[in-house]
Chain A
Amino acid sequence: MTSSAPVSRRPAPEEAGPHAAQAPRGGGPARVSRRRRARTGWFFASPALLVITAVTVFPVLFSLLLSFADVRLEYGGFRILSLTGDHYAAVLSSPEWRQALVFTFGFTAVTVLLELVLGTAAALVLERLGAARGWVLAVLLLPWALINVVAAQLWGYLYNGTYGGLTWLFEQILGHQPDILGQPASAISAMVVVDVWKTTPFVAIVVLAGLMLIPGDVYEAAEIDGAGTWTTFWKVTLPQLRPIMAIAVLFRILQAFGIFDLPFVLTQGGPGTATESLAILGYKTLFQNLAIGRGAAVATTTAVIVITCCLLFLRVFRTQADEGGRA
């Protein structure tokens, strides 16, 4: 049976082959379609890009520009008179900046270390809990869920020199009223305690997630090899946790280095300038002293330092991980 009617020959699906949908080489309708797809992609991404440019890219670049600018405020606006490196010279040579740098570094190192140790310990305990884990986790997460300023205010009441609960407690033990937030050493320690109390749950939950991802057969192998609890922890658990711990530490370094709310609420940077962090110094320089260029320079140097720290940390971590992998 034949048919005289012209029939267009379309390839059957099985004939089309796996690359049938791909554009042919050379200019053709498929290339146009790819361009169109790219344009559609940009169209859909543009609102997000605009928002990111407005709230992140522009402020960062503008702050960078201001840190090099001699700015004069005028009626109805401001004017950039010239570009200069003076603000960086003033910031880097100032004793206030050095003191703030030392405090911020010290605070970051101590709190991150303590939080890592305590958070890991808490995660190990949580992992072993059975049905109660959900409840314990919820309670443990309460400090982390509190807004920083609220937590700082709460502890501010406890440390208060006149009616603070902790002041009263120490008075009963020591026999005299301690000046917790009025002396540098105790004020810094008090601040570390609040930060550790507030943020250890975050580290614990991140490490707990890491613990749950470790496959059980690794432990079985270690047991067959005769490894004890400590050996298993040091040789099996900790190496397996290393990547997730690195993430927790990175997050914590970023947060601790920008510490603002705790000293702002608890001590305003005092006693003297003992708890004046880089963020507080930047705030005071920019918003209290209206030194726009210098304030921007404090912010930029802080950002540069924290980015450098994080990159260094990642490099050291990667080197160790590689060595661990080869070992």
Chain B
Amino acid sequence: MALSRRTLLAGGLAAGAGLTSGCAGKPLDTLLTQAAHVPRTPATLTWWVSEIPSRNGPVVADLIIRAFERRHPHIHVRKSNALSTTDGNRAAVTTQLAGASPTPDVYLGDTTWPAQFGANSLALPLQTLLPKDFWTAYPAALRRVSEYRGAVYALPFFTDSAFLYYRKDLLAKHGRPVPRTWEELLRTARTVQRAGDAPYGFLWQGSVSESLTCNVAEFLADAEAPVLDGAGRVALNGPGAERAFSLMREFTETGVTPSTVTTYVEADSQDAFTGGRGVFLRNWSYAWGNAADRTVSKVAGKVGVAPRPGFEGDGPRGVSCAGGWSNFINPNSRHLGAAVAFARFCAGEEAQMILLKNAGVIPALDEVLTRREARAVGDPTLARVRELQLVARPVQTPYYPQVSKALYTRANAVLGGRATPAQAVRAARADIRTALEGGAL
């Protein structure tokens, strides 16, 4: 009884074919009917959630779960600890979801995921389950990134907004105001650097990752250069885009930004700033907590926060990439009704107030930011977040990861001096076109 190679191959392929025929999908209407009703019978949900930065010590996710369970005593929520990086999380959660796993029931995902996850049936479309005026309470940019082809695939939880952090003490010493334009920032940074008060002027994120795409999206918005047009075709072109890329190169060429920025993710730039090595830092709102914490920051008490500058002229100022995390529903969940109820609870007032009081993030619900409690927290990013102009990344395509890669690899080459701004814009445009046509790997 010999098991020949041919038998083995045929058996394997037959098993594969059998598996595929056994994995046919479920009708969406059935899923939505289940999702529309909160069950009255006991249910246990699994929530895939990464650590939410905490301001006061308690684990924020636990506070929210306890509040939800008080409202829905028959629904129990169990945490499933997600990974620390966005891309690692995506790989882990998509492996589970594509394998039709019923858990996690609800998962916290990046705001860049909805189109890709929606197009691949990894998230439940939720628009029919929401009241018509649902989105009026949330930033418009958040709604734009949560939708794909008219369907909503994510419910808002918290946002990340970008700010300019600056050294109050160094600006005061040199009699300089907080810069409102990039040109002004370059002049101030050079003055402070020449005086030997800080080795670096402006710190930001330039590594080949989504972090750089966020920075590029902001610089492009400063220069009023869109990546995609209204019809979703590539629009990156012309003097506006080149101006944005030229500014990035000018930072590294003049030494205002260290050349090592080509390897910086958020933590690297933050460490350099809190270590007293920079005058300005572009980072997300959560960086305030670390910069003001005397146990980890050498510059605590000397840091100010302002909206990002813009170019000289009439262009926009205070541009911030619309970042953040939203809750998605696993279409394979056995408790769809309970899962939707939990995700809606996270987007609602009670959970958003818990975020406001305890978490080092910006709640997605606009209205809570105007409350007295928001001022009492004493976090300047909360006070100034409404001055920002949020810009969405070109996420409304299932090929967003490839579009993002086109932007960050080409911008990274400009920072390292391996391509001119004009060459990089042309190459990024060609790469994005290939990506949108589904031609990129």
Contact = CB atoms under 8 A, between A and B. Distances in A.
B441 A74 contact: no
A292 B20 CA distance: 14
Given A75-B28, A75-B331, A271-B208, A290 B259 contact: no
Q: Which of B95, B399, B416, B418 has the most CB of A within 10 A?
A: B416
A230 interface: no
Given A163-B271, A182-B260, A79 B23 contact: yes
Contact of B441 (A79, A177, A271, A291): A291
Contacts of B177: none
Interface string A170-184: 000000010101111
Interface residues of A, number: 54
A38 B1 contact: yes
Given A94-B440, A160-B268, A268-B207, A288 B401 contact: yes
Interface string B14-45: 01110110111111100100000000000000
A69 to B, nearest CB: 8
B139 to A, nearest CB: 26
Contacts of A268: 207-209
B208 to A, nearest CB: 3
A287 B95 contact: yes
Given A73-B98, A78-B23, A61 B12 contact: yes
A27 interface: no
A190 to B, nearest CB: 11
Interface residues of B, number: 62
Contact of A270 (B91, B259, B275, B409): B409
B15 to A, nearest CB: 6
Contacts of A181: 262-263
Interface in B359-416: 398-399, 401-402, 405, 409-410, 412-413, 416
Contacts of A61: 9, 12-13, 15-16
Given A75-B25, A182-B416, A271 B262 contact: yes
A91 interface: yes
A271 to B, nearest CB: 5
Interface string A256-275: 00000000000111111100
B28 to A, nearest CB: 6
Interface string A207-242: 000000000000000000000000000000000000
B416 A74 contact: no
A272 B418 contact: yes
A91 B12 CA distance: 25
B87 interface: yes
Interface in B57-105: 87, 90-91, 94-95, 98, 100
B419 to A, nearest CB: 9
A80 interface: yes
Nearest to A78: B23
Contacts of B87: 288
Contacts of B410: 272
A305 B28 CA distance: 42
B264 interface: yes
Interface of B: 1, 3, 8-9, 12-13, 15-17, 19-20, 22-28, 31, 87, 90-91, 94-95, 98, 100, 116, 120-122, 124, 207-209, 258-264, 268, 271-272, 275, 277, 331-332, 398-399, 401-402, 405, 409-410, 412-413, 416, 418, 439-441
18 contacts: A49-B3, A58-B16, A62-B16, A77-B23, A77-B24, A77-B25, A96-B440, A160-B268, A161-B260, A162-B272, A182-B416, A268-B208, A270-B207, A270-B208, A271-B262, A272-B412, A289-B401, A298-B441
Given A74-B26, A272-B410, 14 more contacts: A53-B12, A75-B31, A76-B331, A80-B20, A90-B439, A161-B268, A179-B259, A183-B416, A268-B209, A269-B208, A270-B412, A271-B413, A271-B416, A284-B405
Chain A to chain B: the 6 pairs with minimum beta-carbon distance, closest first: A161-B260, A74-B25, A270-B208, A61-B12, A77-B23, A182-B262
Interface of A: 38, 42, 49, 53, 57-58, 60-62, 65, 69, 73-80, 90-91, 94, 96-97, 160-163, 167, 177, 179, 181-184, 267-273, 281, 283-285, 287-292, 294, 298
